[in-house]
Amino acid sequence: MNGSAIDPAILLPAFAAGLLVLATHVPLGAEVLRKGIVFIDLAIAQIAALGVILAGLMEVDPHGWQVQAAAAVAALAGAALLVWTERRWPEVQEAQIGVVFVLAATAGILLLAKNPHGGEHLRDLLTGQILWVGYPQLVVPAIATLLVGAFLWRIAALPRSAFYLLFAIAVTVSVQLVGVYLVFATLIVPALGVRGYRAERRLPLAYAIGAAGYGSGLVLSAAVDLPSGALIVWCLAILAALAHAMAPKRGAERPVNAAR
């Protein structure tokens, strides 16, 4: 273990990036779980990553606005496609989301097949490079977080098409900060860990799991020199499992309206 590698100048911007992702993804993930469309996050994130790959093939600046635009257009197109498939064949929407994910993932593999650095680029898109995020890269995500956050207070009342649109905007930003795998873990794992608690306690506990998972994963990554994205995923999963294990047994906590 290398304690000298734990540099706050590196860890703090990365942790700030994690908090921005958590701000929108925790409530979005709870709604995804409630709606039963768990794989929408993987599908939209993979489509956004496909947009990044296409932008890279056009040799644009990897840190320029064109990459953000390509990811946004791809994610919004994917969201529009899923809205259309749900209206046309609602009974098999989850299966359709899975098919869209597989098609986007394999399209990325095909596009990068002849790129000498394709494997490395694909790995970065999947696992992310959060440990190397700097404060300047957080300006656009912070603005997007504020825009998405303005609608989260009534997320349950949004029509499915508006939810998909909101989801696409949030994922477009986060996939470039933390990668596809961590986007999925941030959305789903905290929501799974708190499902045994009363409704009013779930969101604060999910945020706590997320913040602790990102913080511990980043510190471990710096200390033992292992990929940060993968370690954060495991930290989130372990903390969520512990939270679920400590949840009140069924019937131990009375529902809010049980006293009536």
Domains and CATH numbers, the chain: 8-245 (1.10.3470.10)
* Helical ranges in the chain per DSSP H: 8-35, 40-57, 65-88, 93-112, 118-127, 139-152, 160-178, 180-193, 199-224, 228-245
Residue 53 contacts residue 108 (beta carbons within 8 Å): yes
Tens digit of pLDDT for each residue in 205-248? 999 999 999 999 999 998 998 889 999 999 999 999 999 999 98
Q: Is the pLDDT of residue 147 over 60?
A: yes
CB 158 within 8 A of CB 207: no
d(C-alpha 43, C-alpha 53), whole Å:
15
- The pLDDT tens digits of the residues spanning 216-227 come to 999 999 899 888
pTM over 0.85: no
pLDDT at 31 over 80: yes
Whether the Cβ atoms of residue 182 and residue 233 lie closer than 8 Å to each other: yes
Contact 27, 203 (CB under 8 A): yes
Q: What percent of the chain lies above the pLDDT cut of 90? A: 48
Q: What is the mean pLDDT of the chain?
A: 87
| Buried-state track 220-238, b at ≥16 Cβ within 10 A, e below 16 | bbbeeeebbbbbbbebbbb
Distance separating alpha carbons of residues 59 and 156, to the nearest angstrom: 40
What is the structure's pLDDT at 255? 46
**Class of residue 83 by CB neighbours under 10 A (exposed 0-12, middle 13-18, buried 19+):** middle
Residue 159 C-alpha from the chain's centroid: 21
